Amino acid sequence: MISPEYEVRLYDYIGGTIRSLGGISLGINGAADHRHVLAKLRPNRALSDALRKLKANSSGWMHDVFPRIEHFSWQRGYGAFTVSQSQVGAVQKYIARQKEHHHRVSFRDEFIRFLVEHGIEYDERFI
């Protein structure tokens, strides 16, 4: 869980990590139990490599900067989706409203609905 006390600095750090990978951060936000990152990444960088670096570096940074949250870690998996340029603005608005949005709809319910709507197979054990 990432409290508001850590969010702004963490998001700045994540944005810097994306820049170090040659990407551009377009939006970062989330609710208590998950984060959304909208970014343009270089086509020569594998998404899994970028996310592994982002998660490892930011986890280490959190432990260094906020030692009292010694048990902080990211979940093992992730969900990643492409976004067409015409939808970037809508996705940015969605990300900006995460806290309010997830007071009404749980992340789990919304994520499953999204997978079903788009015909994406999934295993409930990994959600």
Return the domain boundaries, the chain.
Answer: 4-126
Q: In the predicted model, is pLDDT for residue 102 greater than 90?
A: no
Res 4: pLDDT: 81
Res 103: pLDDT: 85
pLDDT tens per residue across span 11-25: 999 999 999 999 999
What's 4-126's CATH class?
A: alpha beta
Residue 124 near residue 77, CB atoms below 8 Å: no
Res 83: pLDDT: 94
The strand pairing partners of 35, in sequence order, are: 30
Mean pLDDT of 100-113: 88
